[in-house]
Amino acid sequence: MIRQSDLPDTIPVFPLPGALLLPRSRLPLHLFEPRYLQMLEDTMKTSARLIGMVAPNSGSGDRTLHTIGCAGRVTQFSETEDGRYMVTLAGISRFRVMREVSGFTPYLKADVSWTGFERDLGKAEIDKGFDRPLFMKTLSRYFESQELSTDWDSLKEADEELLINSLSMLCPFDPEEKQALLEAPSLQTRRETLVTLMEFAMRGGQNEEILQ
């Protein structure tokens, strides 16, 4: 079990639009730009092997990154014949970007705070209000409306955290919507946000009242 005190104060960050990593989830990455190959090489020399996934900030202001991201530990990587890398990150904990660090590396680094995300390092969360039959009905309608396909047997058998987090990561929401899912303070809030986004998409993006 990783303790919060074991996490570094400064980590490399990968500002990838639309990518979402959540604690206790896995995110595959395809690295080919020289700066990110260098980031991977440097990361593998550290004991923590952490890369921070954080969305670029598309809003106004001086910040180039969103305030909240999620760090993942490099657990798998393989090299292709043409020098690219396929990497898997295992989500460890969310973090707050305190300061972007300029230095001698071609990739971004940030000073981060892990305070407030202690729950991320614990066991899987429980959503006590989770109504699986109702959720699956909404999910089925959403997938049909978006012309998406999936392995329904696997979804029906997945525990609630894996189900909710996997859908949050994989569904084709826009970057700001995925940021809202990342910042949800609890699994229940993330599930409620996920349902809201699915209902919103099924209404064609019309901003009308959504019944929970």
Q: pLDDT, tens digit, for every residue of 158-199?
A: 999 999 999 999 999 999 999 999 999 999 999 999 999 999
Q: Which fold has domain 4-121?
A: 2.30.130
Handedness of CA 16, 17, 18, 22 (dihedral sign): positive
The full length of the chain comes to: 212
Amino acid sitting at position 69: G
Residue 120 phi/psi, 5° resolution? -60, -25
- Residue 209: pLDDT band (50, 70, 90) is very low
CA distance 172 to 16: 15
